[in-house]
Structures are given as structure tokens and as C-alpha cells.
Chains A and B, each alone.
Chain A
Amino acid sequence: MLANVAPSVFNGLILGAFYAFVAIGLSLIMNLTATINLAHGSFLTLAGYLAFTLVSKGTSFWFALILAPLLTVVVGVLVERTLIVPLYKRDPMFSLLLTFGLALIAEEVYRLIWGPNGVPFSAPGVLGGGISLGFMQFPTLRLFIALVLAVAMALLALFLWCTKFGLRLRAAVQDTEMIAAMGTNTQLLYMVNFALGMALAGLAGVLASGLLGLSPTMGNSLLMPAFVVVIIGGMGSLFGSIVGGLLVGLAISITTLFIPAANEIIMYILMAVVLLIRPRGLFGTEGLFG
């Protein structure tokens, strides 16, 4: 049994890191603009399909890994600037509904272009197999994914906490009016913030496609768990999303080991428990959204 625990924990952390990644992207957008991006999964899927198309046209996987998220950022920012910006000044419900409409369109468009059944998208051979680290065998692909996610999160943290722009972004979440009054270009802030969210979604999308398989609904299957992670980790807290994600990932994999039948419901149980004990989430800020 014990021999199974270590790989479970590892896999759980990888899964959790994915959820955390998607959750952070959602959180960034939510915290600053009160927009619940129901199309977030669609952007994940888009990145996957873009990577697939690039690779099938001869691009190397590594190049696609960079390019696909970048393209996703471009598409995302275009969408934000044209469709979502007019809604910022309105009730947040409208931007949610807009992203819902976009999600519907996107799903069908993907079906139209790439077929309803998903496409084969696999990582290059070099990422196959495993690396032995003494006490256990690590699948190389998952190690690679873990590495990429960790590096990306570190870069994000660096940006948000160590740059002037990042500071302004964090301050704007607390008090957008004051930041605007101090002369900051809030539109630029919104755009960069959304771009960040898109970058995270894009990267997660490409990696997830290699791991989970690529289909029109791939991104959406990560979306709901990401929302649960945001709730557990706490609204308004990026750190909470990371912790929440890892927690959920671990919970799922441990449960798979001991009570396999419950492994999908465990995150909802976790969510209910957290909400009972601490309605704002583990690291949520009180009263940010009522």
C-alpha cells in the first residue's frame, strides 16, 4: 500500500497544480474585474487545438508550447477589448453571460473545425517513459509538466510581487478607484491582467492536452474543478488558489487510492466542509464581494 502512496501523492500534486493554474487564471480576472469567465475552459481548449495544428503543420512541440499560449493571449485580449470592456461598467452578471455565450460558440466552432471526437495530441517521444529517482519511477511527461507549471507560477509570482506593474495590479484589486485617481491607466491594467489569465490558460491547455487528450470539451472539464478550487482557496486570494488546487489534487488522488468510488465527489465534499467552517474560503478576503 505504501508503495502506492508516493506515486499517488505525486500524481495528486500534478493534478492539483493544473487545477491551481486554471484557478489562478480565473481568479486574476475575477478579482480585478468581477468577471466570472465561463469561456476560460474554451481558451484552454483553443490553446490545445492551436498547438495540435502547429505540430501537425510541422512545428516542433517545444515551439508550439510557447506559441500556442501566445496566440491564445492574442485572441483572448482581442475578445476582451472588443466584447468585455463595454461590460465592465455594468453589473458583473453581464460579463458572465457574455462569456457563457462565447463558450457556446467556441465549443461548436471547435467541433466544426477539428471534429467532435477529439484529436490525438501527444507529447514528443523524449517525454515518454520515466525517470527513476530511487524510491519511485516518475513518468517523464508528468515531471516535465510539473516543472513547467512550477516555473510559470514562479514567474507569475515574480511579476506580481517584484515589479512595479505587478504592484499596481495588486493594488487595483483592492481599490480600483483609488488607483485610477492616482493616474494609473486602468484599461491597460485590465488588459494585461486578462492577458495574464489567458497566458496561464493557454499554457495549461497545451499541457493538459498532452495529459488528458484533446477534445472540444477538454477545457470545460477543468473549468468546474477550477471554480471549486477558487471557492475552497478563497475568493480574492491567488495564494488560496494554489493551496486549494494542490489540496484538491491531493484529496482526489488519495481518495482514488483508498475509496475509488468517491474520488470525483471528494472535491465537492471538501468545498462544502470549507464553506461550513470558513465561508470566505481558506485564504479568502472578507467582504470583497459581499
Chain B
Amino acid sequence: MSRQTQGYIAAIAAIALLAIFPVKFGSFSLLSLLHLDVSILSEMLLFAIAAMSVNLLLGYTGQMSFGNAAYFGLGAYGAGLSIHYLNVHFIAATLIGTAAAILGALIIGPFLLRRRGIYFSLLTLAFGQVFYFIAYRANQFTGGEDGMSFPRPYVGFAGWHTNLHEATFYYLMLIVFVAVLTAFWLIVRSPFGRTLQAIRQNELRVRYLGLDTNKFIYVALVVSAAMAGLAGALYGLLIMFAAPLMLDWHQSGDFVMIMILGGAGTIWGPVVGSLIYVIGKDIISTLTQTWQIYIGALFVICVLAFPRGLLGTLLHAIARRDVGAPIVEDTMPHTAWETGTPTGAAAVAVEQKEL
């Protein structure tokens, strides 16, 4: 069985597990430390999507956005405001929230595109704060510092509707999650996705292959914003609340770290990271008031010792075992134009790139 098939099976097993959970376990308690129920799992799935949005930009396109919480928050507020003022139903609220996030990215994208590297990150940070600030200050509309609460409308179309209680909501989240995950997978294996990954490794070379990398990065930005916005809208609908802190750089940082915890540049990394983060936070905050210290310490340790994240480290180890130690190639072949075997035996030292 090839590794790829193994991967598919693992993915399907994970999804199946997530699907069976409410039926089989209802809620799950461990030593009164961990209380796992559909609400927490919903949160986990949504944060995973948010982390996926960062992953698309960073793990695949090589651009570190420290402002994706802004899109997350735009999604939540978009949903909340549309319910509050326009009385829309669930699906419309979700779509409006997502659209708000997309609009945000469309507007600030051209600013961000002028720069790369840490200057790009700085700009995402600053523009993220612009949106935070708007949510904070526009208190007539948004409720200001205290945020705004709103009811969760029913899901309805064609005359049929249903109220979403927690279990139903969870299944809806699971469906959205699988859809987004699949879309993510399709994107990264497409020619577009391969080009994004090439940009991450060597943007200059991509340009010198005739491609306008700005166009690619802009699209990646907008898709990333859409994902984060969708997650935000649904999260707002989950907790029936939208708050300025959802847009703050601390939240952005959390999303980035979730991705790192699981493994940047892998498809399931953000999911694993979200599991670690949401469950870890739950356990730690049950144990102590000062959980932020431990979360911060977790981040620090991860960055220093496990930069590839849990899944990333695992996949890397598997790949190393499959391929063996890096094979060194001899010097250039001397044979003529027909396909030949390399001659010469000088081993060339292989440079391992620092992560």
C-alpha cells in the first residue's frame, strides 16, 4: 500500500471518527480535566479552518500573514450585523460574513502585495489592527468593546427549516470542515497550488518563468480571507457573539501558532494543531487561572524545539525512513546525449537547508 493510500485512509478514518463522536460518546470526560463535547469540537473544527487559511498563505505560498484574525472577525461581525439589521437566516448570514472578509482582503491586498518577507507580515499586522480598531470604535453598530450578541437563526430553504441545536450545528460544521479541507487539498495539488508552492521556495525564479507572482499571491490572499471569514462567521453563529478581540493580533497569532503546532505546509497540520490547542487550552484552564502562561510556553517550546509541529515532524520522519538518508549524487554525467548512467564517484556533500 503506497504512502498516499495510507494517507487517504487515515484522513477518512479521522473524519469518520469526528462524525461518530456525538453518537457514540455524546460528551467525553476525562478525569474531570477534559470535557469534550460537540461545542468544543465545533470550535476545534472552525479554528482548524482558520489555521488552514494561514497555512495556505504561509505553508504553501510562503507569506506570513499575522492579520488573518481580521478576516475571522469580519466574518463574525458580518454574520452578526446581517442578522441584527437585516434579519437574515443562517446560510445568508454565513455568506455575508464570508463576503465581508473577502471584501476586506480585496481592499487591503494591493497594499500588502507591494512587499514581501517581514515587511509583508508587518503590514498584515497593521491592517489587521485597522479592522480591530473599526470593530472597537464603531460602537453604535458593533457594540464596541463589549461586542455584540445575536441569536442563531434557523437554517432554512425551500419552505423547510430547522433550528440548530448543538449536535445538528456540529454536523453542519463537520460538513463545512470536510468541504473546506477538500477544497484546500484540490487547490494545493492544482497547477495553481503548485505554482504557489514554487513561489514559496523561490519567487524570483517563478517570475523568471514568465508568471506574475503578484497575481497568484493576491488570489491566495483572497482565498485565505474567504476561509478565515467562513470560519469566523460560523464561529460567531456558534457562540452567538462577535467581539473586537476576535480581530486582534493575539487572535491572529493564535491561528498562526495552531498551524505551527500541527505542521505548516501539510494539509492536516492545522487540524492537528487545532486539536492540541483547543483541548490543551481547555485542560489547562480547568487547572489554573493563569493558563495564558502555559499556552505561551507551549508556543515558545514549539518554536524552539518542534518547528515542524506534531504532524509535520511525524511526516518528516516517515519520509526520511522511506527515502533513506539523502542520496548524494556524483559529479555531472559525462556521457553524451543519450540517457546514460552517471559516471564518476565523487560524493558531493549535501546541504541540508535549515527549516
Check whether chain A touches chain B (CB < 8 angstroms). yes
A contact residues vs B (CB 8 Å cutoff): 30, 34, 36, 38, 83, 86-87, 89-94, 96-98, 100-109, 111-112, 224, 227-228, 230-231, 235, 264-265, 268, 271-272, 275-276, 279, 288-290
B198: interface (CB < 8 Å): no
Which of A87, A101, A106, A231 has a CB less than 8 Å from the CB of B126?
A231
Q: Complex Cα distance A137/B66, Å?
A: 43
Q: Is the CB of B253 within 8 A of A275?
A: no
Q: Is the interface of B mostly helix, strand, loop or mixed?
A: helix
Q: Complex Cα distance A51/B300, Å?
A: 27
Q: Is the CB of A94 within 8 A of B303?
A: yes
Q: Is the CB of B296 within 8 A of A101?
A: yes
Given contacts A227-B126, A289-B118, contact A97 B299 (CB under 8 A): yes
Q: Complex Cα distance A224/B303, Å?
A: 23
Q: Which residues of A contact B64 (CB under 8 A)?
A: 93, 96
Q: Is the CB of A34 within 8 A of B293?
A: no
Closest CB pairs A-B (n = 9) = A290-B116, A104-B296, A101-B299, A105-B296, A279-B114, A101-B300, A108-B292, A290-B117, A289-B117
Q: Is the CB of A265 within 8 A of B133?
A: yes
Q: Is the CB of A264 within 8 A of B121?
A: no
B115: interface (CB < 8 Å): yes
- 11 sampled A-B residue pairs with Cβ under 8 A: A38-B249, A86-B304, A92-B117, A100-B257, A101-B303, A104-B292, A108-B290, A224-B126, A231-B122, A235-B122, A264-B137
Q: Is the CB of B304 within 8 A of A96?
A: no
Closest to A230 in B: B122
Convert B108-121 into 0s and 1s, putting 1 for each residue whose CB lies closer than 8 angstroms to a CB of A. 00010011111111
Q: Complex Cα distance A235/B354, Å?
A: 26
Q: Taking the nearest CB of chain A, how far is it from the CB of B227, in angstroms? A: 20
Q: Which residues of B contact A289 (CB under 8 A)?
A: 115-119
Q: Complex Cα distance A36/B65, Å?
A: 13
Interface size class of B (residues with CB under 8 A): 35 or more
Q: Is the CB of B296 within 8 A of A235?
A: no
Q: Complex Cα distance A38/B303, Å?
A: 15
CB within 8 Å of A: which B81-120 residues: 111, 114-120
Q: Which residues of B contact A112 (CB under 8 A)?
A: 290, 293
B250: interface (CB < 8 Å): yes
Q: Taking the nearest CB of chain A, how far is it from the CB of B47, in angstroms? A: 16
Which of B118, B134, B292, B354 has a CB less than 8 Å from the CB of A90?
B354
Q: Complex Cα distance A12/B308, Å?
A: 46
B183: interface (CB < 8 Å): no
Q: Taking the nearest CB of chain A, how far is it from the CB of B79, in angstroms? A: 24
Q: Which residues of A contact B123 (CB under 8 A)?
A: 231, 275
Which of A90, A103, A272 has a CB less than 8 Å from the CB of B111?
A272
Q: Taking the nearest CB of chain A, how far is it from the CB of B126, in angstroms? A: 6
Given contacts A104-B250, A112-B290, contact A91 B355 (CB under 8 A): yes
Q: Complex Cα distance A61/B296, Å?
A: 33
Q: Which residues of A contact B257 (CB under 8 A)?
A: 97, 100-101
Given contacts A101-B299, A105-B300, A275-B111, contact A94 B307 (CB under 8 A): yes
Q: Which residues of B contact A272 (CB under 8 A)?
A: 111
Closest to B115 in A: A290
Given contacts A265-B133, A290-B115, contact A89 B354 (CB under 8 A): yes
B260: interface (CB < 8 Å): yes
